Amino acid sequence: MRVLVVDDEPQIVQSLEMNLRARRYEVSTAGTGAAALQVAHDHPPDVVLLDLGLPDMDGVEVIHGLRAGSSAPIIVLSGRIGGSDKVGALDAGADDYVTKPFGMDELMARIRAVARRSAADAAPDPQVRIGDWLVDLASHRITGPDGAEQRLTKIEWQLLERLVRHPGQLVTQRQLLTEVWGPQFVSESGYLRFHFGQLRRKLEADPGRPRHLITEPGIGYRFHG
């Protein structure tokens, strides 16, 4: 697996490179956003570790640039702890956000986690269980233990798929609204509350205390299988 490390602090780059190579990862490095985009183009990475505070451009711009030509998981490594920074990076296409200083064991676990999710995304359309319901994303069918089918609207399917394909991962409100309705609807969080309420009534055993379709207040939603 090739990891691209993007950071302008030589000590951090050296430490990450040493630890990654010791675990048999291939490593490419870049100290600027422009260099990162060039390296990613010339030697496509499997995972990107990206600092937001680069000297030539903001890390969010780099995320947009990477996403234009790559679906490789991006883990942001940043000293910025504000919620808006995290949401901005995740909305731009980052898969995870780790605040500096960080433990190397935790970072390696996060690399393995995003790599697993990336491999799962490339796999055939999955079947997952939500309580007693079996959700088949390939056929767009939801069946219960007695063979009864649960019907979803087109929008409900779109929202459910985006969560189910990324189990445990936060999907932001902005991302859902942009992908399902369009960028002009990014402030319409009421749409999400309504449709996730409908999904819970159809799929959760106790819609008032959901176990699978989880709200992260003010930020987004997660799916727990």
Q: What is the pLDDT of residues 60-109, one digit of tens each?
A: 899 988 887 788 899 999 887 666 778 888 888 898 998 888 899 999 99
Can you tell me the distance from the alpha carbon of 46 to that of 38, in angstroms, rounded to the nearest whole number?
15
**pLDDT tens per residue across span 157-191:** 999 988 988 788 888 888 888 888 887 888 899 99
**What are the extents of the domains in the chain?**
2-122, 127-223
H or E element, residue 27: strand 26-30
Sheet holding 2-6, edge to edge: 26-30, 2-6, 47-51, 74-78, 96-99
Question: Which pTM was predicted?
Answer: 0.58
Q: Is 127-223 assigned to CATH 3.30.365.10? A: no
CATH architecture, domain 2-122: 3-Layer(aba) Sandwich (3.40)
